[in-house]
Structure formats: structure tokens, C-alpha cells
């Protein structure tokens, strides 16, 4: 036994002394809390201005992709409306799905939270709106101007439930220097031209396409880039027919898209071991000139630029999924947005903030930060110059990301898994399509 414990044992304390001591401890423990409370009060007092009215605090939980635009706009809103303070927090998609959905289920959701457009994931607009947990935004003025083609992404049963600043496209983010060195003078406009470009880069000694298929969501992008040409260019009503059970993944151009995907692998156009390569490694390969291009979504352009020594080396072109340039369609999906909790305490203030986000200048600001194409455009809208080559498509040869029309949250992860299995040579295309059809039917 140590000396300290011995002396404690022998110490004599009367009951009264003991209580006095405990009381003192309790006060000591409570003191910092009281002090902290005082300091918060002074803080909110200063931010709320001289009005003296208690500020409404709105909680926003978003995904990491939303941090840059949201932080800037929240700060701007503070100047417009000092009585409302928005406290944003951000987390990776997986964690947001876990925490926000649990909070939604328990009835204590944040006032504003991330919502994915359309259907097809656990945090998607359709899934949450159909449980009655999203506030109706249909009456707001920006909601009247949603382009027709995008309406399925924003609306459930004719009502608007999600705000999103615009759309992003999927295509090839490429390193201009690598292309130059390999003797490629212009981006390809047909599938066979694309294969020739890859061949040239391969001959120059670099992997033409960096693929980070260890990161699940990256697996889907090549299929998504091809399917508009192999499926929707031939049959724009494919989604409705699939929903009605008249067609399936196996009976459609999805098969061609997967065959083209594997053809790229067979010809040796990917880096070694794509299944063991992550998104970050993929990004750095292209940004540092160790690979020619990556099939990616335009929203990650900022990530690629950050890892490049000279960001201007990077540009983007639509991946041509057909041999007739007129039959090339592209995927253009509404970017991740936000909604207001229908059952929150501050629904009015939360929807007022969304209404403000819907102003053209704010749509422009958000879209610019994430290199997206603004939902609606005016003379002050800017579009990232590297996306120029996509603009001719966005009017009538673009389709939303496929998962936004899928009926449940299982099809997309199944697509991830079968692509990894295909790349590993574990399964054949027939089996992959069968698994996706089964998931669709659930």
C-alpha cells in the first residue's frame, strides 16, 4: 500500500466536514460551466447586434463537399439577417447518412441538412420527403424556374423539397501536358478516337486513364459517362420503361457500357491494380502528370487543381460513348443540395434562408465555388472555362445521374460492388447485370 492511500485511510473527517468538502467540489465543478455560459451570452449579444432580441440559431449538417460554398454564404447571410445565426457542421457522406438519418428518425433533425437530389440513396429527396420530413419549398420564387429536365431531381409528387445550386457533369479530367507529349492535339469526339488517344498515351509510357476503384463511388463514373450514349441516346424514356418493368439493365445498353468499361481494362488503359487505388491516388496521378486522365465528376475539379503544381494544366472533355458524334450524350446531374426539416422548431427561418439561397447571385456564388453549371443563369453567371465543351450538350443531350431515378438505395452500392468484381475478374458481365436487376427489383 502506498503512503498516500494509507494516510487517507487513517484521516478522520467528520460527516459535516465531508459534506462541506463535497459542496466545495461541486461549486468548483460548476464554475467553469457558469463562466462558459456567460461568455456565450456575450458572444451572441455582439453577433445579434443592438436589437437585443435573442438570435434564432439554425443548425445545418452537410457533407464535406458543401463546406466551401456554404461557409461563404452563411457568412454573407449573417450580414443580411443578423437575427439568425446558422451553425454549420460537415462530415463525410457515410457519417452524415448515419447521423442525420438517425436524428430524422428520432425527431430531432437539424433545421437544415444535406439532401441528395432525386431518389436512390438513404438521404435522397424522395426517400425523406415521402416520410413527410422535408419542408415544402414549392412556393419560393427560385423553385418556379427549375428547368424541366431537372424537375425529377427536385420534386416529389409535384412539390419541391430540395435546393441545389446547379449541376455537374461527368467527363474526362485530363492533363494537357501529358496529352501534348503523347502527340494528342485535340480531345476525342467519338469512341474510336478516344481509344486512339488512349493508345497514344500508353505508347508514351503512361497509363492513359487513372482509376481509383478502391474508393467505391469512383467505380460508377465510367459507366455513368457511357450509359447516356449507349442507353438514353437511343431511348430517352428508359427510366420510365425500367420502372414499369418493360426493360432491365441486362436487356439494355448497360451491357454495352460495361463491355466498353472492360475493353478499356483489357487494352491496358488503366493504371495497375485499380481496385487497390484510391480516389486520392487517382487525383494525384493525373494532377502530377503520371497519368493522362481520370473519368470524374466536374465537382472534384477543385481537388485535382489543389494537387497540381500548375492547375491550368488540367482541363476536361466529355467522354464520347458512341462512334457517331451526334449520338454522344453526357451525364449532367444536379449537385448535392439541402432541405429544411419539416418538423423543426424554426421551419420558417430555415425556409427563409433557402429562399435567400435561391437568389440568382447566390446560385452563381455556390456554383462557382464547386465548378458547377448554375441552375439558372443570368449575365453575371460564370461557368468554369474547362466546362465549355459540355455546354452544347446540357440543353438536350444530357441525362441526370442514373441513381437519381433508381427506386431504392441498394442499386447504387450493388453497381459499385459488381464493377470491382468485374475489374478483379471475379464475375462476368451477365452476372453483374443480373445482380443489379435483382437490387432494382427489391
Which residues form the interface with another protein (CB under 8 A)?
A: 12, 94, 97-98, 101-102, 104-105, 121-122, 127-128, 130-133, 213-214, 216, 272-278, 281, 408-410, 413, 416-418, 420-421, 423-424, 426-427
Q: What span, in angstroms and rounded, lies between the C-alpha atoms of 1 and 5?
A: 7
Q: CB-wise, 194 or 249, nearer to another protein?
A: 249
- Residue 16 C-beta: closest distance to another protein, Å: 12
- Residue 364 C-beta: closest distance to another protein, Å: 34
Q: CB-wise, 4 or 272, nearer to another protein?
A: 272
Q: Which residues contact residue 347 at a Cβ distance below 8 angstroms, ignoring those fewer than 6 apart?
A: 111, 135, 340, 341
- Residue 366 C-beta: closest distance to another protein, Å: 27
Q: CB-wise, 252 or 277, nearer to another protein?
A: 277
Closest C-alpha to 115, from 125, 126, 130 = 125
Q: CB-wise, 9 or 79, nearer to another protein?
A: 9
Report CA 144 to chain centroid distance, whole Å.
24
Report CA 138 to chain centroid distance, whole Å.
23
* 213 close to 273: Cβ distance less than 8 angstroms: no
Q: CB-wise, 356 or 416, nearer to another protein?
A: 416
* Alpha carbon distances (Å) from 220 to 26, 114, 315: 57, 22, 21
Q: CB-wise, 22 or 139, nearer to another protein?
A: 22
Q: What span, in angstroms and rounded, lies between the C-alpha atoms of 110 and 84?
A: 15
Q: CB-wise, 73 or 213, nearer to another protein?
A: 213
**Residue 26 CB: number of other CB atoms within 10 A?**
10
* Alpha carbon distances (Å) from 359 to 77, 96, 140, 141, 355: 12, 27, 10, 9, 7
Q: CB-wise, 32 or 205, nearer to another protein?
A: 205
Q: CB-wise, 89 or 273, nearer to another protein?
A: 273
Please tell me whether residue 255 adopts helix, strand or coil conformation: helix
Q: CB-wise, 26 or 424, nearer to another protein?
A: 424
- Residue 180 C-beta: closest distance to another protein, Å: 25
Q: What span, in angstroms and rounded, lies between the C-alpha atoms of 223 and 269?
A: 15
- Residue 428 C-beta: closest distance to another protein, Å: 13
Element (H, E) at 159: strand 159-160
Annotate 137-156 with DSSP letters as a single string: -TTSGGGGG--GGGHHHHEE
Annotate 280-294 with DSSP letters as a single string: HHHHHHHHTTSSSEE
Q: Nine-digit cell at 373?
A: 453549371
- How many helical (H) and strand (E) elements, i.e. helices and strands, does the chain have? 19, 12
- Residue 96 C-beta: closest distance to another protein, Å: 10
Q: CB-wise, 66 or 281, nearer to another protein?
A: 281
Q: What span, in angstroms and rounded, lies between the C-alpha atoms of 146 and 128?
A: 20
Q: Nine-digit cell at 396?
A: 438536350
- Residue 368 C-beta: closest distance to another protein, Å: 32
- Residue 117 C-beta: closest distance to another protein, Å: 17
- Residue 175 C-beta: closest distance to another protein, Å: 18
- Residue 23 C-beta: closest distance to another protein, Å: 20
Q: Nine-digit cell at 417?
A: 460492388
Please tell me whether residue 315 adopts helix, strand or coil conformation: strand
Closest C-alpha to 108, from 346, 354, 336, 357 = 346
- Residue 122 C-beta: closest distance to another protein, Å: 4
Amino acid at each position: 500500500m502506498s503512503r498516500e492511500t494509507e494516510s487517507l485511510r487513517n484521516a478522520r473527517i467528520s460527516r459535516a466536514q465531508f459534506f462541506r468538502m463535497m459542496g466545495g467540489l461541486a461549486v468548483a465543478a460548476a464554475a467553469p460551466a457558469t463562466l462558459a455560459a456567460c461568455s456565450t451570452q456575450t458572444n451572441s449579444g455582439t453577433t445579434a447586434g443592438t436589437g437585443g432580441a435573442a438570435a434564432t440559431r439554425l443548425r445545418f449538417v452537410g457533407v464535406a463537399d458543401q463546406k466551401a460554398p456554404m461557409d461563404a454564404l452563411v457568412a454573407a447571410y449573417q450580414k443580411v439577417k443578423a437575427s439568425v445565426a446558422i451553425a454549420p457542421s460537415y462530415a463525410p457522406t457515410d457519417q452524415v447518412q448515419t447521423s442525420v438519418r438517425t436524428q430524422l428518425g428520432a425527431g430531432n433533425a437539424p433545421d437544415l441538412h444535406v439532401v441528395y437530389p432525386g431518389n436512390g440513396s438513404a438521404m435522397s429527396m424522395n426517400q425523406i420527403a415521402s416520410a413527410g420530413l422535408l419542408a415544402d419549398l414549392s412556393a419560393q420564387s427560385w423553385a418556379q424556374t427549375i428547368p424541366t429536365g431537372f424537375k425529377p431531381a427536385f420534386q416529389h409528387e409535384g412539390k419541391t423539397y430540395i435546393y441545389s445550386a446547379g449541376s455537374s457533369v461527368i467527363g474526362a479530367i485530363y492533363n494537357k501536358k501529358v496529352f501534348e507529349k503523347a502527340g494528342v492535339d485535340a480531345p476525342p469526339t467519338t469512341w474510336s478516337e478516344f481509344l486512339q488517344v488512349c493508345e497514344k498515351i500508353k505508347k508514351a509510357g503512361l497509363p492513359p486513364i487513372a482509376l481509383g476503384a478502391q474508393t467505391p463511388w469512383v467505380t460508377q463514373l465510367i459507366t455513368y459517362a457511357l450509359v447516356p450514349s449507349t442507353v438514353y441516346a437511343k431511348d430517352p424514356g428508359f427510366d420510365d420503361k425500367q420502372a414499369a418493368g418493360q426493360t432491365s439493365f441486362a436487356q439494355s445498353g448497360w451491357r454495352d457500357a460495361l463491355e466498353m468499361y472492360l475493353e478499356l481494362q483489357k487494352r491496358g488503359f488503366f493504371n495497375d491494380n485499380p481496385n487497390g487505388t484510391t480516389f486520392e491516388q487517382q487525383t494525384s496521378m493525373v494532377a502530377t502528370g503520371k497519368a493522362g486522365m481520370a473519368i470524374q465528376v466536374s465537382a472534384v475539379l477543385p481537388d485535382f487543381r489543389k494537387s497540381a503544381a500548375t492547375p491550368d494544366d488540367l482541363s476536361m472533355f466529355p467522354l464520347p460513348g458512341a462512334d457517331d458524334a451526334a449520338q454522344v450524350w453526357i451525364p449532367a446531374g444536379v449537385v448535392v443540395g439541402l432541405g429544411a426539416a419539416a418538423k423543426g422548431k424554426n421551419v420558417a427561418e430555415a425556409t427563409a434562408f433557402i429562399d435567400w439561397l435561391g437568389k440568382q447571385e447566390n446560385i452563381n456564388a455556390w456554383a462557382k465555388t464547386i465548378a458547377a453549371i448554375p441552375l439558372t443563369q443570368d449575365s453575371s453567371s460564370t461557368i468554369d472555362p474547362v466546362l465549355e465543351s459540355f455546354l452544347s450538350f446540357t440543353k438536350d443531350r444530357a441525362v441526370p445521374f442514373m441513381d437519381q431515378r433508381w427506386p431504392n438505395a441498394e442499386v447504387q452500392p450493388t453497381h459499385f460492388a459488381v464493377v470491382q468484381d468485374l475489374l478483379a475478374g471475379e464475375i462476368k458481365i451477365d452476372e453483374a447485370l443480373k445482380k443489379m436487376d435483382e437490387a432494382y427489383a427489391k
